[in-house]
Amino acid sequence: MNGGRSAAPGRIRIIGGSLRNSRLNVPQLPGLRPTAERVRETLFNWLAPVMDGARCLDLCAGTGALGIEALSRGAAGVQFVERDARAAQVLRDNLVRLKTTGGQVAVSDAGQFLQGAPQLQDLVFLDPPFALELWSVLAQQLEQGGWLAAQAWIYVESPRAEVPVLPANWQLHREGHAGEVRFALYRRSLPLS
């Protein structure tokens, strides 16, 4: 289920930045749901003031479209995490073909990855497969595991009718809907002691 304009089968386009109009190959895998162009365009318009030099984590990366869009728009680096080895290989191939620097791909379950040594992030893309309902679990791991900069931004994509339970110190900044998808940008504040 995608909101907005759908891509040709097996290809999606980068919307802006140095890689604008570059095409990404997309593997045909069950449950793979690339973020729609219209949603990515809106999100990165919201994020424009904070993208330059940002350290990013694309959790449950899938196609990697969000993270590659971030690299295209000036992010210092993106850690991609994808549990499906085939999707991760296509993502690696796209990064090489586009001659991008700053992107690293880990083949791992998101929850297991977050149990490792934390790397401080300015921006996290939290868009797990909808059927797995992992938003709250992964959000708590991000918050409690030392992964988030003091005022990190967190993008959350979920079904339109579902607002995930997130840490209390994640404040909703902006949100929108596209088809059956809710997309929202949160800003972290330091938790009250």
Residue 9 has pLDDT above 90, yes or no: no
Residue 192 has pLDDT above 70, yes or no: no
Mean pLDDT of all residues belonging to the chain: 91
Mean pLDDT for the stretch of residues 138-142: 97
Q: How far is CA 82 from the centre of its chain?
A: 11
Other Cβ atoms closer than 10 A to 114 = 21
CATH superfamily of 11-188: Vaccinia Virus protein VP39 (3.40.50.150)
Please identify which residue in the block is written with the tokens 């059927």. 131
CA distance 81 to 110: 6
Whole-structure pTM value? 0.91
Please identify which residue in the block is written with the tokens 């694309």. 58
Nearest residue to 125 (alpha-carbon basis) of 107, 108, 138: 138
Question: Can you give the residue ranges of every domain in the chain?
Answer: 11-188
Q: What pLDDT was estimated at residue 132? A: 82
Q: What pLDDT was estimated at residue 27? A: 87
Q: What pLDDT was estimated at residue 148? A: 97
For the chain, give the percent of residues with pLDDT over 90: 81
Instruction: Kindly give the pairing relationship between strand 23-25 and strand 148-159.
Output: unpaired
